[in-house]
Amino acid sequence: MTKPEIKFLEGPQSRWLEFKFAVKVLFAFIKGFRKLHFVGPCVTVFGSARFKEGHPHYEMARALSGKIAQLGFTIMTGGGPGIMEAANRGAREVGGRSVGCNIELPHEQKPNPYMDTWVSIKYFFVRKTLLSKYSYAFVVMPGGFGTLDEFFEAITLIETKMVSDFPVVIMDTAFHENIVAHVELMKSQGTIAPEDSKLFIFTNDIQEAVDYIQNNTIKRYNLRPEEEKIKPFKWLFEK
């Protein structure tokens, strides 16, 4: 977390400090809204920042994102290296649109070179909101705590009807086999409804993932990604 977040989460602060923090968060949201308003319908790809080019997970994200981009979607990521870079790169290589929402960290996270546009955000919770706001589907690649956090937040929003019932694809069943087992455990214990496991799919097949996204976005909502882009207003200095 950034230092302002650490301070904020240490409990009650002075009213003035908390007001200033709230204003900073407001402007962070506005910054993100202005930057990402015109990117068109997105599919967001989550995954680890630590996989390098040539790794099977990197190459899978690259290939899958290219095929999704060919459907007309903009590929959105967290803007950093690893899986995020692979996804943005895959979109760029097929002539698709590639954007990111980068988190400002002292290490590990710098914008990758395969994005058409991106916004850098100081606060994780603002970034997660932006990654969800512009997406019609989510792809979860192998990753760490952050990736699982993003996956479970997306599923929670869908389950509680806070967002539309958009498709979620989890790639690599071997990597996620313990997650699969835990989902089955939660079903058996009654902590989730039996139908909740239908909110997402686990697969190793790129074409199955692409078909699932296409059938549950473009066909289901009669969506035309290339026609859904919003035009900027010049009088608002929008580009």
Mean pLDDT of 24-42: 93
Specify if 230 maps to a domain: no
What's the DSSP call for residue 37?
A: T
Assess whether pLDDT exceeds 90 at residue 1: no
Residue 203 lies in a domain: yes
Whether residue 4 is contained in a domain is answered as no
Number of domains the chain is built from: 1
Residue 40's alpha-carbon distances to 5, 136, 238, in angstroms, are 30, 10, 15
Helices then strands, counting H and E runs in the chain, come out as 8, 7
Burial 104-127 (b: 16+ CB within 10 A, else e): eeeeebebbebbeebbbbbbbebb
**How confident is residue 7, by pLDDT bands cut at 50, 70 and 90?**
confident
Q: What is the mean pLDDT of residues 49-68?
A: 97
**pLDDT tens digits for 86-144?**
999 999 999 999 999 998 876 656 889 999 999 999 898 999 999 999 999 999 999 99
Q: Using pLDDT thresholds of 50, 70 and 90, give the confidence band for residue 75.
A: very high
Residue 173 lies in a domain: yes
Element housing 117 (H / E): strand 117-121
Question: Which 3 state secondary structure label does DSSP give 206?
Answer: helix
192 falls within a domain: yes
Give the C-alpha distances (Å, rounded to integers) separating 60 from 19, 53, 70, 145, 197.
44, 10, 16, 20, 24
Task: With respect to residue 155, please indicate whether it lies within any of the assigned structural domains.
Answer: yes
For residues 209 and 61, the answer to whether their CB atoms sit within 8 Å is: no
The verdict on residue 198 lying in a domain is yes
Mean pLDDT of 61-65: 98
Q: Report, as an integer, the average pLDDT of 148-177.
A: 94
- CATH of residue 38's domain is 3.40.50.450
Q: What is the mean pLDDT of the chain?
A: 91
**What is the mean predicted confidence (pLDDT) over 147-158?**
94
Q: What is the pLDDT of residue 155?
A: 94
Percent of all residues in the chain with a pLDDT value above 70, rounded to a whole number: 90
**pLDDT, position 234:** 67
Joined tokens for residue 218? 């473009």
Query: b/e for 55-77, b at 16 or more Cβ within 10 A?
Result: bebbebbbebbbbbbebbbbbbb
Residue 43 domain flag: yes
Tell me how many degrees the CA angle 231-29-1 measures, rounded to the nearest 5. Answer: 140
* pTM for the model: 0.90
What are 207's two structure tokens? Answer: 């074409």
| Average confidence (pLDDT) over 30-56 | 95
CB atoms inside a 10 Å sphere around CB 209: 22
Higher pLDDT, 105 or 52: 52
Q: CA nearest 84: which of 51, 130, 122?
A: 51
Domain boundaries, position 160 = 13-221
- Encode pLDDT of 170-229 as tens digits: 999 999 999 999 999 999 999 999 999 899 999 999 999 999 999 999 888 788 787 666
139 to 170, 181, 184: CA distances (angstroms): 6, 19, 20
Distance CA 190, CA 210 (A): 31
CA distances, 215 to each of 45, 136, 175 (Å): 18, 12, 25
